[in-house]
Structure 1
Amino acid sequence: MSVEQLRLAVYRGFAETGRAPSDPELAATLGVSEETVRAGLWALHEQRHIVLRDDAIVMAHPFSAVPLGFSVMGRSALWWGGCAWDSFAVPHLVGEEVLVATRCQGCDRALAWNVGTEVPPKGDEVAHFLVPITMLWDDVVHACGNQRLFCDEGCVDGWLARTGHERGYVMDLDMLWRLAERWYEGRLHRGYERRDPTSAAAYFASVGLRGPFWGF
């Protein structure tokens, strides 16, 4: 078993079922021992392909094994979205329109959008990213848990005042959709490579995101 085979099994399992495949399931799929699977998962964690906590898969972006504020419903699977960015990325990765649902962090109003692969959804809502991209992997679960959607900037301001957080980065739905559109391109296929800082900066610039928050 190669680590790449394991990575594909994890991601395809998430994409098809909406949940993280277990160690026994991965071992059976790949014809190896659970110990071999566990060692491979930690290698993927070190390479930042997945996130492990207590030996369990917590995240395989854009999928999450734990609720972080978003549900993403497709034709035959229901996923936890890891954050606003990841939730809008799921339709591009799985190739189908999805229903993204969450609650405004400012006023607790239910929010939902049909998010497809052709055009951004309509709406006046905004996304707020609390943690700068350069600090994302210091605590990636915390960072993802604080990429949330709000009714408007007034709700963002109210949440910031209530929580004492510094203002991060605010973008509209159009920008969020464009950020998510090609970020995970190829992740369900063999040979996928994570973006390095240089290629990530180029990608952010291509969708109109610049400045220290985005690493340049």
Structure 2
Amino acid sequence: MNLEDLRLGVYHSFAQCGRAPTTDELAEQFGLDTQAVQAGLTELAASRHLVLDRSGQIVMAHPFSAVPLGFAVMGSRTLWWGGCAWDSFALPHLLPDEDEVLVSTRCPACAHPHAWNVGNQRPPDGDQVAHFLVPVSRMWDDVVHTCRHQRLFCSESCVDSWRRATGADHGYLMDLGTLWKLASHWYDGRLDRGYVRREPSAAREYLRGVGLSGSFWGDEPDPA
């Protein structure tokens, strides 16, 4: 089967409906048996276009998520789970019919609710901070764990409170403006035919271009 057709089928289902297609739906769409579809999904997961659970069901197709990981993203007609702070802020840049979305979450430390109108022209206002527990070089060791720990906090003091309560390491902190820049072009072309994932050298260049230091990649020690 054509893997690019299958990849686009998954991504367009997320984009249009806010959910992952089932194996049966994909089999019907492409006139294939479910075993062939499952084999194709497994191959896409091996090349990091998708994330599957142990039963072979689609969990993520970045920046989309099939499961709640701390964020909800509301468009003009569609509700998505945001896979993480990075992915939630990326959606208005990726979706052609959504100039602005409402991103909502709760502070992991104090449970205070937060919501921002996130558009593709300028970053939202706010003093909140994003905390990325896992550096980029290790994000795919357990990508669901990684995404579950890319969260937005009220302030750095809330990050410190959460770390004391959980015993978590100190990750990378960034403000909303930097998060918006990070998300703005990272997924460019992902809904188009022929999309190619960035090689590590291109990814490093992109991260440097939005002002992120080597510790975000994992080259430098975490802050004390």
TM-score, normalisation: structure 1: 0.98
Offset, 1:110: 0.4
- 5+ residue gaps in structure 1? none
Identify the match of residue 191 of structure 1 among 165, 190, 194. 194
- 5+ residue gaps in structure 2? 220-224
Q: How many angstroms apart in 1 are the aligned matches of 2:24 and 2:167? A: 44
Identify the match of residue 118 of structure 1 among 107, 116, 121. 121
Q: How many angstroms apart in 2 are the aligned matches of 1:76 and 1:185? A: 22
Match of 1:23 in 2: 23
Match of 2:89 in 1: 88
- Count, aligned residues: 216
Taking every aligned residue pair, what percent have the same amino acid on both sides?
61
Which deviations, in whole Å up to 9, do the C-alpha atoms of 1:80-132 show, x marking residues without a partner? Answer: 01000000011111131110000001110000000000000000001000011
Q: How many angstroms apart in 2 are the aligned matches of 1:116 and 1:213? A: 24
Offset, 1:213: 2.9
Match of 1:46 in 2: 46
Which deviations, in whole Å up to 9, do the C-alpha atoms of 1:59-96 show, x marking residues without a partner? Answer: 00000000000000101110001000000011111131
Match of 2:145 in 1: 142
After superposing on structure 2, the runs of 4+ consecutive aligned residues of structure 1 that deviate more than 6 Å are: none
Q: How many angstroms apart in 2 are the aligned matches of 1:41 and 1:169? A: 32
TM-score, normalisation: structure 2: 0.95
Q: Is the 8 A contact 1:126 1:172 kept in 2?
A: yes
Q: Is the 8 A contact 1:201 1:215 kept in 2?
A: no
> Which amino acid in the other structure matches residue 176 of structure 1?
L
> Which amino acid in the other structure matches residue 164 of structure 1?
G
> Which amino acid in the other structure matches residue 62 of structure 1?
P
- Cα RMSD of the aligned pairs, angstroms, is 0.8
What does residue range 2-21 of structure 1 map to in structure 2 within 5 Å? 2-21=2-21
Q: How many angstroms apart in 2 are the aligned matches of 1:5 and 1:39? A: 14
Offset, 1:211: 1.2
